[in-house]
Amino acid sequence: PINPSDINTIEGKYPLSPSLPGVPGHEGVAEVTSVGPNVEGLKVGDRVVPLAPCSGTWRTHATFPAASLHRVRSDIPLEAAATLCINPPTALAMLERFVQLAPGDTVVQNGATSAVGRCVIQLAAAMGLRTINLMRPRD
C-alpha cells in the first residue's frame, strides 16, 4: 500500500525528507535475498521491515545494515507487515500521549477507516476502551 506520508514526502509536505537524489518510501516489507558473512539474526527468506523512516522502500532491491531491519513472522499479512512501523505506533501514541485514558473511557475519532483508525479501534478494544468511529466520504 501507498501511505499518505509517502505522497506528502514527495510533495515536500512531510516533516522528514530523504537525502537527494533518493528513493521515496517510508515503510514496506521485504524478503531477505542474501546476508553478509557477519550478519546474525537474519537469514535468506526472512521477511523484514525497515525501522527508520525515509528508507526508500519504493524499489525492488536494496542493501541495508541488518540493524536497520526488523524480522517479522511470515504469517502476518503483507499489508499489515508493510505498515507495522508507522500506523500501529501512531495509533498507540494517540491513545497514550495526549490524555490519561482508563478502561471504560470512550474515544471518538474521525477517519476511522484509515489504517491508523483501524489500529486505534483494535488497540482501544485491547485497552478496555470504547470507540465511536466516524468515517469520511471518499469523494
Active site positions, annotated: 14
Q: At what angle do helices 115-126 and 87-96 cross, to 10 degrees?
A: 50
Q: What is the DSSP string of the chain?
A: ---HHHHHHHTT-SS----SS----S---EE-----TT--S--TT-EEEESSSS---SSS-----GGGEEEE-TTS-HHHHHTTTTHHHHHHHHHHSSS---TT-EEEES-TTSHHHHHHHHHHHHTT-EEEE------
The alpha carbons of the chain give a radius of gyration, in whole angstroms, of: 17
